[in-house]
Structure 1
Amino acid sequence: MAIHSFSVGKIRCVVVPDGGSIMPLADLAGIFPPDPDVQAGILALPDTQGFSMNCLLIESDGQLILLDTGLGTLNPAHSPALIANLREAGAAPEAIDIVVITHGHGDHMGGGVDDAGNLSFPNARYMMTRLDWDHWTGPAVNPAAERCLSPLREFITLIEPDDLIAPGVRALPALGHTPGHIGVVIESQGEKLMDVVDAMHHPLQVAHPTWSPRFDTDPVKSAETRRALLEQAAAESCRLMTYHFAFPGLGTVRAKGDSFTFDAVS
């Protein structure tokens, strides 16, 4: 695993993962509720499954935009890889103009600050939806959210789930995983990419859109969102990207009856 470069029209994109792993089936099964059909579907898979943290670097109109910052040092067992991969892509941390935090889970915002609370991307404007910011900075804030978000209070720009981020780059509402979870949609010269981030965590959810993981804030809403995004990607024949599918997390979606299939790009 290193980086994966591609373009959407004239917009340059690079998948810059913050590492990945091979997930045993027992760990994958633990993500989902103990529904017999769900567990049977998981047990029918090969023994191990690729699991990545696919951050996305976007270059649009002279601006460098980073979608999510990985886990960083939140988990001592994790070896952060994002900064090294950004440098391989030709982007120093100081060169990042905008950091979009898609939602307030540690594996998406842990790399935004270091252990001392310093910004990892000191010249960037940080963005997050108002819905998710309010949720993760409220009275029930957890230590990981406090550690990641408190240093951003003076630097955060709160956005709506469908706001324009940069020319050709717009927030994509993907609510349900968290209250204000977003992806991005990139459009240029007749080409389109939908990065749906955590609207789905495993290709099983492409075949079974109703299967929501335990940690979705609103499992019913997330299932509705997932189906709508899959229907859109299939109808428009555009590329789809996810955060946790095996690197680089890119592919295309095809409708198959009441279900869908995902054809991965290697």
Structure 2
Amino acid sequence: MAQNTTEFHSFRHGKFDVTVLSDGHLTLPGEMFAPEANAGERADIVTRLGGEGNLAKAQSNIPLIVTGEDVILIDVGAGNRVQSSEGRLEENLNRVGVHSSDVTIVVLSHAHPDHLWGVTREDGSLRFPNARYVVGFAEWSFWMGPHADALPADRRPYVSAARRDFAAISGRVSLLEDGDAVVSGLSVLATPGHTPGHISLRLEGEVPLIVTVDAAASEIVSFEHPTWSFGFDMDKDQARQTRIALLDRAARENAKLLGFHWSYPGVGRIEKIGAAYKFTSVRT
């Protein structure tokens, strides 16, 4: 499996080779990035994200992690089922010399469309046919159980799609909990709130690498205004507590961070400043 990663951000972390691929991006209104901001604050955030007219891009950064014989993806994107600007993951895998059949492990952080819907093709077949799948126990239990039926009507499509895709992997899924190992050196961090069973990931190295996924959805808002929510947070209070605890831990451990919706490549370091934080990208 020859890899050409010159077009993508790649680095070595401990025993892991990490390449940040992209599924494309979502275009979202400023209210989704910062629901609690006032008009002036929101306009400033949209501008700093490179947007205009109250619209900005939320990138879909997907880590490809290679260690030993395992080829691991953390999330699979939207599969071109949400916005036409998404669905690029498989194309970008091919560009680094990885075929979908080479992937041995797929970690699904949560069941929102832009993280899960790419798991199957239009005909219902698995996009990554040789992989085993990892989902948080609490996330699986929520979407496959009765509590999801109580979600508002506008979220009902999420429920039916999550059940469709979880059913497709049901014969090859492992349900993990906080601290469980995906492989040696790569473990689950329970980070609930964005969804009931949302998970982040931790890779061991000289310092930890924490893949925050949507526990910290913006490199601006989540750091500078950690008490503010993200528009898709399902339990805003729990998400807030989780986010602050996660960022405090990352700052305390001098961890490297990788965020799903952050400006590509979404990799950098954290510094705690008073009650807020500063994110410094590797591209700065």
Aligned positions of 1:52-71 closer than 5 A? 52-71=59-78
Q: Note closer, same or farther for the CA distance 1:242–1:251 as it changes in structure 2 (3 Å cut).
A: same
Matches within 5 A, 1:55-204: 55-75=62-82, 77-139=84-146, 140=149, 142-188=159-205, 190-202=206-218, 203-204=220-221
Are residues 50 and 79 of structure 1, via their aligned partners in 2, closer, same or farther at CA, if it must alter by over 3 Å? closer
Give structure 1 stretches of 5+ with no counterpart: none
- How far the C-alpha of 1:257 sits from its partner, in A, is 1.1
1:214 Cα shift?
A: 3.3
Q: 1:127-157: per-residue Cα shift (whole Å, max 9, x none)?
A: 1011111111224262321332221121211
Residue 29 (1) aligns with residue 31 (2): yes
**C-alpha distance in 1 between matches for 2:207 and 2:251:** 14
SS of equivalent residue, structure 2 residue 168: helix
- The answer to whether the 8 Å contact 1:102/1:108 transfers is yes
1:215 Cα deviation from its structure 2 partner: 2.3
Aligned length: 260
> 1:80 is aligned with what amino acid?
G
Other-structure match for 1:44: 44
Question: What corresponds to 2:152 in structure 1?
Answer: none
Does the residue aligned with 1:263 lie in a helix, a strand or coil? Answer: strand
Partner Cα distance (1:80, 1:215) in 2? 20
Q: Given the alignment of the two structures, is residue 18 of structure 1 paired with residue 35 of structure 2, yes or no?
A: no
CA-atom RMSD, angstroms? 2.0
SS of 2:171's equivalent in the other structure is coil
Q: Distance in 2 between matches of 1:144 and 1:236?
A: 37
Shift of 1:84: 1.5
Unaligned runs of at least 5 residues, structure 2: 1-5, 150-155
- Please state whether the residue corresponding to 1:55 is helix, strand or coil: strand
Contact 1:5 1:13 in 2 (8 A): yes
* Cα distance, 1:217 vs structure 2: 2.0
SS in 1 for 2:214: helix
Give 1:263's aligned amino acid: T
- 2:279 is paired with a residue of what secondary structure? strand
TM-score normalised by the chain length of structure 1 = 0.91
Deviation sequence 1:30-88 (CA, Å, 0-9, x none): 4543x3x4544222231614421111111123211110000103236344210121122
- 1:216 aligned partner: 233
Deviations 1:104-145 (A, max 9, x none): 111001111111110111110011011111111224262321
Matched residue type, 1:220: D
Contact 2:77 2:86 in 1 (8 A): no
Residue 179 to residue 102, structure 1, CA distance change in 2 (3 Å): same
